[in-house]
Amino acid sequence: MSTGVNSSEQTAGGAAADGGVLTAIDHVGIVVDDLDAAVGFYEQTFGAKVVHRERVEKDGVEEALLAAGGNYVQLLTPTREDSAVAKWLAKHGSGLHHVGYRVDSCQVALDRAVAAGVRALDAAPRPGSRGTTVAFLHPKSAYGTLIELVQEG
């Protein structure tokens, strides 16, 4: 029984053959209170390697992306107390924050979600880390999961 989309189940453009807009899981976002310690844990425990590290001033976060097959583990820590991630960390502590799904077009995926009645946190796609375009969907509209739509390049 297949539980995911393999390469034979995707169109040439990368979209799911079933007409869906989610092409892959891009990353799992985990909020941590000590980024260096969390990176060390993944390096020592799993041999994971940091492939990208960036401070995103606009969002008040610093992130480290660790390779996990063709996907990533995104470790996030707040850099400002007024950031959404700082507020989330204060309320929930370290842990799973969101799931990022790859899409061919962030705008198309966002429009489709909004048309289906999903509450968007971003009115329009915006620049994300590592040169991506992103938009977030509210967890109350998505069965308790904060969703990030991620368009490469």
- 3-state secondary structure string across 22-64: EEEEEEEEEECCCHHHHHHHHHHHHCCCEEEEEEEHHHCEEEE
How far, in Å, CA of 98 to CA of 119, rounded?
Answer: 15
> Does 130 reside within a domain?
yes
CATH number for the domain harbouring residue 34:
3.10.180.10
- Which one of 62, 97, 98, 151 is the catalytic residue? 98
Residue 74 among the catalytic residues: yes
- Average pLDDT, whole number, for the chain? 90
Provide the domain count of the chain: 1
Q: Which of 27, 62, 97, 151 is catalytic?
A: 27
pLDDT tens digits for 117-129? 999 999 999 999 9
* Known catalytic residue at 92: no
Q: Is 63 a catalytic residue?
A: yes
- Residue 55 inside a domain? The answer is yes
- pLDDT tens digits for range 96-145: 999 999 999 999 999 999 999 999 999 999 999 999 999 999 999 999 99
| Mean pLDDT of all residues in 51-56 | 96
Q: Residue 3: inside a domain, yes or no?
A: no
Question: What is the pTM (predicted TM-score) of this model?
Answer: 0.86
Confidence category of residue 8, pLDDT binned at 50, 70, 90 = very low
Q: Is 138 a catalytic residue?
A: no
148 catalytic, yes or no?
yes
74: left (phi over 0), alpha (psi -120 to 50) or beta: beta
